[in-house]
Every structure is written in C-alpha cells, then in structure tokens.
Structure 1
Amino acid sequence: MVSRKRVLGLSAYYHDSAACLLEDGQVLAAAQEERFSRKKHDDRFPHHAVEFCLKHAGLSIDQVDYVAYYEKPFLKFERILETHLAFAPRGLKAFMMAMPTWLGEKLWLPQVIAKELGWDKQVLFAEHHESHAASAFFPSPFERAAVLTLDGVGEWATASFGVGSDNRVKILHEMRFPHSLGLLYSAFTYFAGFKVNSGEYKLMGLAPYGEPRYVQTILEHVIDLKADGSFAMNLAYFDYAAGLRMTSAKMNDLMGGPPREPESALTQREMDIACSIQVVTEEIILRMARHVKKETGEKYLCLAGGVALNCVANGKLLREGIFKDIYIQPAAGDAGGALGAALAVHHHYLDQPRQITVGQDWQQGTYLGSEYNEAEIKATLNGFNASFHSCGSIDELTQRTTQCLKQAKIVGWFQGRMEYGPRALGARSILADPRQPDMQSRLNLKIKFREGFRPFAPAILAGREAEWFDLDRPSPYMLLVAPVAESHRLPVDADLDHNHSGLSKLKIPRSTIAAVTHVDGSARIQSVDDQTHPVFHALITQFEKETGCPLLVNTSFNLRGEPVVESPAQAYTCFMRTDMDVLVIGPFLLFKEEQPPWEETENWRDEFQLD
C-alpha cells in the first residue's frame, strides 16, 4: 500500500482563520472559517473549516500525519512584550488587555490546537512570512523565482524577500516591526474612517476620486523612504505600537483634522488621502521589487501577504516590466497562511520534492472549498418552499441565464466548489451585464448595500484580455488592475470631467463596459478558462454569442458586512433579502417574482443554519 503524507495547515487567532489539507503536496481542500461561522474575518479556531476539509477528503483527524500552524507564537509574544516594554508606561491599557488572552491561551497553542483537534501528536510551527513565501512560490508556475512578502506584521517581520527553487524557499532579508507597509496602509484606512483589516479595499477603491495632495507630506514627515524600498516610520504619528488606535493626535495636525467618523459623509480630504497613500504604496512596492531583482537576479516574482491583495499596485508592478512575470497567491492574506504552513512542512520539514507544470499553477483556480450536489440543493430549496425551474443541460442553463442578463437582471450565481481567498471567481458570485451604465450604482445600493463608489470587476474569457484591456496575459485571480483598451473607451468632455469632483465623477460613463470601468478608466480583471470553471466559461461564451461582449460583471455573493455565501441556504437567503432578480444554483433557476413572501425574523440565522 502506498503511504500518503497528509498535512493539515491552520491559521487562526488574528484574523481570517482558515484550514487547508494537503496529500502528498497536493491541496485537497481549503476554506476560511468565516464562510461557515458567518462572522466576517473570523479569527477563532477554524473548527468548521477543519471539519469541511476532513469530510471532503473522507478522512478523520487520526488519518492526518502532521498539523502545521502558520506562525510561531513564542516569537510573536516576544515582539509584543518587548514593544510594550519599550513604550512603557504608555500603552499600559493595551498591554493589560492583551495579556489575559496570551497567558491563558496563545502561549499554549500546541496544547490548545491538540485539544481543539483531538490531536495527540506534535504540532509543527512555520514562521509567519515563511508561510506566506511558501504559499506564493510552491503553487506558482515557475521553476524558480524571487519571492516578496508584504503585510502588517507576523512575529517580527513585516516584509521579506528571498528565492524559491526546487523544494525550498530561502528568506534572504526582512523588514521588521514597527516599520510596516501593511500597517502604514491600515493606519490611513483607519484615518479615512474605514475598518482596519477589512476596509483597505475601500481605501484602494476611493483613491481614483482624489488627488495626490499628501504624497510629499507623507514622504517628508511620516516615513523615511530609502532607494531599496525599505523605510522607517515616524512613530510620533502612529499609536498602534503601544495604544489602541492606529494614528496619534500629531497625525490630526498633519492632515488638517481628526480621522473621519465611520459611516459619516466622505469629503475630498479622504479621497485625497486615499489617493496619496496609494501612490506612496505603489512607489514603495516598485522600489522593493527593483531591489529584489537586483539582489536575486531572478526573472520571475511571487507575491503574498495582505499587501499583495492591492491589485492596483500589482498591475503597476507588472506594467513596469521589472520581472518577466509575477504570480500572486490568491489567498494572499492570513487565510493563505494555512496553505503556506502546510506546504512549508511538506517541503521544508519533510524534504518532499516539488511537482510543477511549468507555465501553469496548481491551485485549481482556487476552487478548493465546499460544494453541493443537485439533491442537496433541491432539498434546501424545497425546505424554503421555493419555486424553481430545472435545466436539463449546461446549454439550457447558460442560455436561460443569458436571457436574464440581457434584460439587465441581476443574477446570483452558485456553482461548483467555493473559492479559497477573498475574491469571488464565479463559484459564489453575483453577475450582471457590464454594458449597463447604471449597473454599478444598482449593485452597490440595492444588492450589496454598500458605498456607491465601490468598483466591480469584469470576468472575461481567457485569451481575450488584450482586446478589452491593456493586459497581455491572463489574470485568473482578479489580482491585477489594467486600463480599459482605448477601442472601448468613450470620449469624455474635459470640461465636463473637470467640473465633476469627488464621487460625482461616477455620473460620467467612460467606456462601453461602464459597469466595470473605474473613474480612472481601469478595471480589476478576472480571466476565466474552460478548464478550471467550465460552467462559468460556458455562460460567458453564451453571453458573447448573443451580445458580442465576452465578459460579465462579477462581484461576491454577499451583503455588506457578511462573508461570501457558502451553502444553498445562505444563497437563497441572500437572494431574498436583496433586490436580486434571479438565482442560478446548480441546475436550478429561481425568479424573485415567483418566490413565496419573505419574512425577516430575528432568528433567521438559526432557522436557515447561518450560525
């Protein structure tokens, strides 16, 4: 009998807990805890995600050989303790708040993990940025590559670079806390009135509405940026090292007032701040990339860490041509640490060889989560007394869905295995016709219940990118932003554009695919091929056949403040709680007007198993 080496990777206790199961170096299943618990960015032990991974593989925990955790808690505790001692007596309140959790739980993680899993063997620990680096390089399509990781902070490291080759990733250099690009960006996220660790996307989306008025202010006062991309932060402007806030009162003076109150009206100041920190972030990343290229001499680059989710910076990095190509881990944040830790154990600890198909990553489109068969979906719909139509073939399904999209209807789309990572990539998505000029505002305000400035992404048939965007390669994970091609841009009157400032710029159509074109003429692109998601590819193909447009609006299937839906029950509930017109779930089509009346109850989460 062939002996299989199975590794369960875990990330938990900071944000975006997740689990990942490998067998002989191949990922069998991976998912974030939030999808099951319904608590956005859930940081608790990933019980549900572990249960899913084991169930999907048909295994018990006793059949797992190794458990890997994505960082080293003692090193992290050392950093927290030394930081508080360095800033004492400032930060005493924050220190006293953190200590009970550390002394009661986090310092005992080997025992805690063993107890939570029912595990009686050793728990292995990778370093935080080792986990990020492993998650970036080992699934990549490159035989060897430079690796750059960027986030808030792990144990001590906030950024690192190294080289991946064969079955090893070697870290060559790191930048250390409290100087951090992730924390710098999060500090300005906080200052603009958005929530840290979840509002960074909003800051990036807000940036094109502003002007880079504060760039020099940031470079002259807030950070000391070097030619190699390293920098020192002037800690007088920040409070995260010892306090309970991200920025200090001195930042208020520099930025002309206090942080914006969450949910209050956005002003031109916040737009200009967003634009400015985005410009600074891009400059830091470009300098770092040039330095990494110089130090390693590698042709390719792999990226991970939360900052690698900044798709605007990624697009600029690609266009600069510093590296021949880049690969970005689709679960680049802490959730991807579960995968990275498992891969680090498989290759570094067990010294197992790396299997690679040159030019093709092996993350299976990152469709690594749960799936539901036709019988399970049907039982759920019957439980709601829902009205649905069954399609006998993929052709019928895509033809009927295309008719709905052509009528400017908004479609909930639930097909196949759930995505691992923050992006909806056509498994748990909301879809629409990108040609409709009012579709962005409709989706934001009536479906997602979120800020009207938030942009949406186009999902385009792989191989067609260059026809519609200034992009000469696939972007399968929606992690690259590129300008819309001139041939699809609309002429914009310069005086009209100048007279519109801030969010009023939304009123001006800028391309023939207005719903996915941001105010700066760019789009965040997802390429869809017929191998990783054949049903989604078939739908876009059918849409092009009938409209001449080979792309759709694709956004995540969720409401503001909630995780992406995981189950058919969650999909139906989200469908009924919004102005979504159609739900396509497995082979079934549901039309809103045919559904029984929806009654919102206080305990609807319990009734529909959304705990």
Structure 2
Amino acid sequence: MNIIGISAFYHDSACCLIKDGALIAAAQEERFSRLKNDPGLPVKSFKHCLKEGKISINDVDRIAFYENPVKKLSRQLWCGYNYLDPELTKKMDPRRPEKEIRDKLGYEGKIEFVDHHLSHAASSFLFSGYESSAILTVDGVGEWATTTYATGEQNSIRIMEEVCFPDSLGLLYSAITNYLGFNVNSGEYKVMGLAPYGKPVYLDLLLKVIKPGTNGQFSLNMDYFDFTSGTRMFTEKLEALLGNKPRKKESELLAFHLDIAKSLQVLLQDVLLEKSKYLHSITGKENLCLAGGVALNCVANGYILRNGPFKRLFVPPAANDAGGAQGAAAVVYCQLSGKKISTSPLKTTYLGASFSDKEIEIVLKNTSLKGVSYQGRREELLNETAKRLADGKVIGWFQGRAEFGPRALGSRSILADPRNPEMRDRINQMVKKRESFRPFAPVIPEEKCAIYFELDHPSPFMLETCSVKPFHDLPAITHVDNSARVQTVNRRDNAMLADLLSAFEKITDCPILLNTSFNVRGEPIVNSPADALICFSVANLDALVIGDTLIDRNQFQIDELNKLINCFDSTWVPVRTDRGVYTFI
C-alpha cells in the first residue's frame, strides 16, 4: 500500500510517501525550488517520493491532503476576505487542492482530506513509539482550530477539545514577532533566540491581550490584533499598550525589544504549561506528544517537560505544516489498513534527496575545482576534516540524504569548533550573514550528552533546550542564559557524523561540534551538490566535505560561482526580500 501525503498552499509545502506502513521519503518543496517556505504544490518533492519508493504514479493507492478545504473556506468567509480579488478568490477555492493534484501531478485516484490538527497530531503520536499518549497541538490556525487536546491509543487519535480562531497562541506569537520587525512564519525563531537577552518586564501588559478560560480554553482580546487586513497583525491599541511604535525591519534592537521578546516567551511558556497540566488532568497519561508550528519553540518544549506532569515528551522534527503531509498520510494508512505505522518510533529524518559519489563527481568535473577525493579512505577523510575543525576552520558538510524539517540534523550542515569564543560571531556575520544574537546548536554523541548538558535522554531532533553543565567552556554553542539546543547522534542513525565527532575528540578531548544549517540567510538549506558548491562560495566557508571529496577554500576560485550557475540546472537563486504582506488563508 502506497500513501502519498501532501501539504500545500499556505507555507512549508511538502510531500511524503508511506509504503506498507513505513515512512520511505519526505521533503519540503523549498529544498528543490529554492524558494524559502515555498507554498506551492510540491511537484518536485512528489517526484522525489516516487523515485525513493521505486514506484510510479499508478502505484499510488491514495493521496492524503493535510487539511479540509471546505471547512477552511468557512473560516475564510467569516474573516471577510475580499472575495472580489481574483487572486485571493483562486487561493480560497476549496476545489483548488484536488484540481492542482489532478492537473499538475496527473493523479487520477482517490484523494482523502484530513483535518489540519488531526494531521499535526498524527505526525507526532503515530511516529512517537508510544502505545498511549496525550496530544497537544498548537499552531496559528488550521481550518478553525488553533489548539487541540487529544489522546492517542494504538493507531487511533481522539480529539476531545479545541480552541478556535481567532483565539490563537501561534498568531499571538506571530503578531508580536511582526511588531518586533521580524518576518512572520520564520522570524518567530529569532524572537525565541532574542528572548534570553531581555527581562520579562512587560509580562503584565501582555497578559492583558489574552484572557484565561475554563478547561483548555483561552481567548485573545481582539482590540489588539488584526489577522485579516494582510498588512500587519496588530492594531494601534497594541502600540499604545506597549508604549512604543513597532520596530522597523533591520533597525537597531533596543533593550525594549529584548524585554518584549522575553515577556512574550515567558507568556507562551506559562500558558502552554498550564494547558499541558490540564491535558494531563483529563487524560492521566505519562506521555505527551506535541505538534504544530508552536512545537518548534524548543525553549517552551524543554520548559514543559521540566516543570510539567508528563514523564516523556515527543516532538516530530517537522512539527510545522510540512509535517502535516506526514501526519495526513499516516492517518489514511491506519484507516485503510487497520494497522500501526511500522516506522514508529521515528529514528531519523534523513528522508530527502541523496546523491551518489558518481553524481557528485560529475558536478565537480563540470568545474575546475581542485578537491581531494578520499574514496575508499573514509577514516583519513574524517581525520583531515577534524584537523581543520580543530584549527578553527568552518566547514560545509554534505552527506547522505537531506533532512526533513526546518533544522540541520547533520546531513546538510555547517560545522565548527564550539570552544572558540569568536566562532559564533564569525559564523553569524561572515558565513550565515544573520543577526549576531542568534545562537548555534551543539551536536554530541548520545552516550556523552549527560556529561556536558543537563539532559538525561536522547534529543536527536534538536527540539528542546537544556542547561550547559558547569566547568565546560563551550562559548560558541552556549546561549546567553547558559542554555543549548542539543542534538544527540549515534552510529546507527548517522555513522559518518558520529565518527567525525570521535575523530575531533581524539584531537581536542572535546566530543562536541557546533552544528548549524548549510545555508545563508533567506535561503533554504542546500539540497543538491550544485547548491552546496554555490553556498560554499557565498558563505565564505573554509572547506567543504561533499561525499568523499574535501575542497579547501584556497582551491575554490571566486569565478567558479558564475560557472556553477551557468553550467548546472540549479534552481539556486539570490537571497530574496519578503513582501511584508501576511494573509492567513
């Protein structure tokens, strides 16, 4: 049985394949199209899934779409969107998903529509490995729901209660993100990273914009918000409440902005903790599954686990809308087969595109790059890479299948020495070309994590934060509040990276590397060898390890950039600027 899952038409469009209960492939369309947060139908990701599954379109038994477009239309009409706008009318058409799936993918079989929050819940619970669990889904908005409380048993999910639009924790966080001058649907993570620099002195003011409710309910004071105009998400009353005009993009960050970010983060954490306690009280479960875009707030995740009643927590690596494709496919598979997903618990996110050494060699031969091939000499390649890292080099790392989800998990990464106090600023300013306050994550062997971090369980998906233990000087990956967003690895799931950590430890006595995504600001994480070579040049990296080849910066001529763009059918494009218009449809 082959089930294709699709999420599309808002942001983070993606496609996945579940084959006989196993998750075979999954990818966001942006990796192929090179358009950040690409909302379009994931045509290229669909082709990738068929290729990885070794099937044709005729072998697809069902396509599962991650939301119900008819239910969604009722909310859009309630919002009063301008239905005379032809472009907006096209986007709101509930027949659009089926029409594009038929026309652009050529699929003639049956399409199942799965409610948005059920898709999210399934993307977590059905891949958690738990027999039974409470499930909390929190995002901006699906059809109507913004927060849902559910239980999972075996291969079924029951939603017990929901909070509906416009009352939304996700939209509240996005509105303040917008107020702080960051982009909605991507800048929320910047606000999370900014928060530790501030103090929660505006918490009492922000509490005026949200009203507590009974059970799992809450409501927003809509005097402060505007979720329908498409220009900005807050009103002048919010400006008056906070006492300042909104920050302009790219302008200086003042103490006021830091304090607002901190106050917002504390508000989110406190509400989520309260609601998780409520969920525990009505379910009595020991396990908690989180899903939805808000579940990517790894600071809040760690806070809930440390301070809440649940013993165990699972968050899928693609907790955002991309993961809705995975959840929708899982729901349909379970309904049709009556069986559980055989891939649970989810062990890896390496579900994207891969390229053989031969394919990489062909790309390299189309340039005049002077890399050194270590084919058949893997240990030597890792030792040479570790030496460069120990010498303070910043290295691009391109190995195996691409990750599924918004974070680098060791396949398309930029790696560096975490002990170097200048490394974080260097990578932020010269390599990633992003804000200096942004933290970086450590990657460490699973068995050594507890030596360095206050974390007593594996964290393979980088979805919770913890404290760095005393007496470990790791300035490049330690945030201002002494926290770190840890990724643990083992040889079963990523032998190449695990062995590199071992090689680095032999030289430095440190089993940890700084790990950040292989991209520059505004661009998706690299996908193909051509993408990697171009980003290598643009990001001013010192070396690139691509397959079994190591390329040093001094072997890379700057005019290679133009040759790469001209020679390859690469979809890489220069950094784009956002339009600054947000319409939640």
TM-score range relative to shorter protein: over 0.9
- Render the CA deviation track for 1:41-91: whole Å, top value 9, x for unaligned: 00001011001111122211111110010000010000110222xxxxxx6
- In structure 1, the partner of 2:365 is 382
Cα offset for 1:244? 3.1
Other structure's SS at 1:319 match: helix
Alignment counterpart, residue 453 of structure 2, candidates 469, 491, 498: 469
| Counterpart secondary structure, 1:345 | helix
2:7 to 4, 11, 21: 11
Q: Do structure 1's residue 275 and structure 2's residue 262 form an aligned pair?
A: yes
After TM superposition, give the deviation of residue 447 of structure 1 in Å. Answer: 0.4
- Conserved in 1, the CA contact under 8 Å of 2:15 and 2:325? yes
Match of 1:248 in 2: 235
Contact residue 6 and residue 65 of structure 1 kept, 8 A: yes
Residue 90 of structure 2 corresponds to 101
Q: Choose from 37, 41, 46 the match for 2:42.
A: 46
SS at match of 1:350: helix
Shift of 1:227: 6.8
Distance in 2 between residues matched to 1:108 and 1:576, nearest whole Å: 40
TM-superposed CA distance for 1:109, in Å, is: 2.3
Match of 1:586 in 2: 547
Instruction: Tell me if 1:61 matches 2:57.
Output: yes
Partner of 2:275: 288
Q: Provide the aligned length of Structure 1 versus Structure 2.
A: 571
Tell me the equivalent position of 1:491: none
Distance 1:97 1:443, change over 3 A: farther
Is the contact made by 1:481 and 1:523 (CA closer than 8 Å) also made in structure 2?
yes
Q: CA deviation at 1:605?
A: 7.7
Residue identity opposite 2:299 in structure 1? V
Aligned-residue Cα RMSD (Å) equals 1.7
Moved more, 598-607 or 320-329: 598-607
Determine the C-alpha separation between the residues in 1 that align with 2:342 and 2:63.
24
Q: Which residue of 1 aligns with 2:523?
A: 562
Indicate the residue corresponding to 1:115 in structure 2. Answer: 103
How do 1:50-449 and structure 2 match up within 5 A? 50-84=46-80, 92=82, 96=85, 99-102=88-91, 105-219=93-207, 221-226=208-213, 228=215, 230-242=217-229, 244-347=231-334, 349-355=335-341, 361-391=344-374, 392-449=376-433
CA contact (8 A) 1:227 1:287 kept: no
1:522 and 2:483 are equivalent in the alignment: yes
**Secondary structure of 1:329 counterpart:** coil
**Aligned-pair CA distance for 1:241:** 3.7
State the percentage of identical aligned residues: 46
What is the CA deviation profile of residues 226-283 of structure 1, one whole-angstrom value per residue up to 9, with x for unaligned ones?
4755321010100114553200111111111221111111111111110000000000
CA contact (8 A) 1:15 1:334 kept: yes
TM-score, length of structure 2 as denominator length: 0.95
Distance 1:607 1:598 in 2: 15
Once residues 159 and 298 of structure 2 are traced to their aligned partners in structure 1, the CA distance between those partners, rounded to angstroms, is: 24
Question: AA paired with 2:32?
Answer: F
Say whether the 8 Å CA contact 1:147–1:302 is kept in structure 2.
yes
TM-score, normalised via structure 1 length: 0.91
Q: C-alpha displacement at 1:121, in angstroms?
A: 1.7
The 1:95/1:408 distance shift into structure 2, 3 A limit, reads farther
| Offset from partner CA, 1:143-175 (integer Å, 9 cap, x none) | 111111110000000010111111101111111
Unaligned runs of 5+ in 1: 85-90, 489-511
**Higher alpha-carbon deviation: 429-438 or 50-59:** 50-59
CA distance in 2, matches of 1:45, 1:473: 37
2: distance between equivalents of 1:319 and 1:73?
A: 38
Matched residue of 1:149: which SS? strand
CA 1:425–1:242 in structure 2 vs 1: closer, same or farther (change >3 Å)?
Answer: same
CA distance in 2, matches of 1:332, 1:605: 37
Equivalent of 1:550 in 504, 511, 514? 511
Can you give the 5+ residue segments of structure 2 that lack an aligned partner in the other structure? 573-585
Structure 2 distance, partners of 1:194, 1:168, is: 38
Q: Does 1:595 align with 2:583?
A: no
Query: Which position in structure 1 is the counterpart of 2:580?
Result: none
The one-letter amino acid of 1:296's match is: T
Q: Deviations over 1:271-299 (max 9, x none)?
A: 11100000000001101110110011111
